[in-house]
Amino acid sequence: MSKNDELTVSVVTPAGSVYEGTTSLAICSTPEGKIGIMPNRLPLLTTLVIDEVKIQQPDGSFENIAISGGFLEFSNNELSIVAPAAERAEDIDVERAMSARDRAQKRIAEAKSNKKSVNDLERAEIALKRAINRLNISKG
Ligand code: ATP
C-alpha cells in the first residue's frame, strides 16, 4: 500500500491515547449517521455520538472501539478522534458495564417517578447508552 492509500488514526481521551495506527477505512458515527472515512477525502470536522468506531486492519478485519461521544477531525490523511471516554473492545470490563447499565436503569425509573428530575433522567439515559454500547462492542 502506498502512503496515499492509507490514513493515520488516533483516538485520544483525557485518560490518554487509546489507539494509534494506519488504515484504509475507518467507520464513525455522527449525529447524521455512520460515515466511512477513506484516504484522500475532503477535510471534515464533526461531532460523534455514543457508538463504535471501526478501524479496518490489513487482514480486512475491524478493530472496534467504544466511543462515548466527542468529535473527529480529518485532514491531510490524518483522522483525529477526541472523546470523553473510549475503550478498545478487548479492554472493556463487562461486569463494570453491566453494573453501570443496572444503575442507570434504576436511576431512569426513579427519575420518571419524580417528574422534577428531568436532568437526572437525561443523565441516566446517557449513562445507559454508554453502558449498552460497551456491552454490545465487548460482544464483538
Ligand atoms: P462507570 O459508572 O462504570 O464509571 P461511566 O459510563 O460513568 O461508567 P465514564 O465516565 O464514561 O464511565 O468513563 C470513566 C473512565 O472509565 C473512562 O476512562 C472509561 O474509559 C473507563 N470505563 C468506564 N466504563 C468502563 C468499562 N466498562 N470498561 C473499561 N473501562 C471503562
**pLDDT digit string (tens) for 87-107?**
999 999 999 999 999 999 999
Task: Give mean pLDDT, residues 111-126.
Answer: 88
Q: Which residues of 84-118 are buried (b: 16+ CB within 10 A; e: fewer)?
A: ebbbbbeebeeeebeebbeebeebbeebeeeeebe
Query: 84 and 23: one domain?
Result: yes
**CATH code, domain carrying 112:** 1.20.5
Q: Write down the mean pLDDT value for the chain.
A: 95
Query: 124 and 102: one domain?
Result: yes
Q: Is the CB of 96 under 6 A from ligand 1?
A: yes
**Which of 53, 87, 139 for mutating ligand 1's site (highest number of atoms within 8 Å of CB)?**
87
Query: 7 and 36: one domain?
Result: yes
Q: Given the CA of residue 127, which atom of ligand 1 is nearest to it?
A: 6
Q: Quick count: other Cβ atoms within 10 Å of Cβ 10? A: 14
Task: Give mean pLDDT, residues 24-46.
Answer: 97
For residue 115, the model assigns a pLDDT of 76
Task: Give mean pLDDT, residues 24-40.
Answer: 98
Query: 20 and 45: one domain?
Result: yes
Query: 74 and 124: one domain?
Result: no
**CATH code, domain carrying 19:** 2.60.15.10
Helical spans, DSSP H, in the chain: 94-113, 118-139
Q: Is the CB of 37 under 6 A from ligand 1?
A: no
Q: Quick count: other Cβ atoms within 10 Å of Cβ 3? A: 10
Domains contained in the chain, number: 2
Range of 78's domain? 3-89
Helical spans, DSSP H, in 34-117: 94-113
Which segment of 13-27, 84-98, 115-129 scores lowest on mean pLDDT?
115-129
**Which of 130, 135, 136 for mutating ligand 1's site (highest number of atoms within 8 Å of CB)?**
130
What pLDDT band is residue 117 in, cutting at 50, 70 and 90? Answer: confident
pTM assigned to the model: 0.95
pLDDT at 43 over 80: yes
For residue 118, the model assigns a pLDDT of 82
Q: Given the CA of residue 94, which atom of ligand 1 is nearest to it?
A: 27
Element (H, E) at 19: strand 16-23
Query: 52 and 97: one domain?
Result: no
For residue 3, the model assigns a pLDDT of 63
How confident is the model over 46-80, as pLDDT tens digits?
999 999 999 999 999 999 999 999 999 999 999 99
